[in-house]
Amino acid sequence: MRLRIVQSYESDFTLVPEAKAALFEQLKAAAFLAQVCQQSGFDQVDFTGLLFQPVPYTSATPRGMPAEFEPYHESPDHILINVPPPFMFKAKIFQPSRLCAIYRRIDTNS
């Protein structure tokens, strides 16, 4: 079995407005936000509206995400999730085949 080294990968994508609205509606649904809270250990979260397509692991992208999203990975106030495939199917998003969403912790102590 041979490994193929990826030198560059185009991670840009555009969603049609209807598909984006349908996906965002699902990602902001109270039941899903509760599930994200349960899995993350956060008391409350808010969808940031940021999505990215996972990229192959390289020395330039060691976490499998575009470099501009790396600060969110390191932030204790954010969580990155894989968008559930049923959400993408229901929103009629078939390209890209995978997306990740970024959620922000809401400080409930303020």
3 in a structural domain: no
Structure tokens at 90: 């229901």
pLDDT band of 47, cuts 50, 70, 90 = very high
pLDDT band of 45, cuts 50, 70, 90 = very high
| 55-77 confidence digits (pLDDT tens) | 887 777 778 888 889 999 999 99
12 in a structural domain: no
Query: Domain limits at 78?
Result: 17-105
Give 93: exposed, middle or buried? Use CB within 10 Å, 0-12, 13-18, 19+.
Answer: buried
The whole model's pTM is what? Answer: 0.84
Q: What mean pLDDT do residues 26-41 have?
A: 96
The CA distance from 104 to 69, in Å, is 13
Looking at every residue in the chain, the average pLDDT score rounds to 88
pLDDT at residue 49, as a whole number: 96
In the chain, how many domains are there? 1
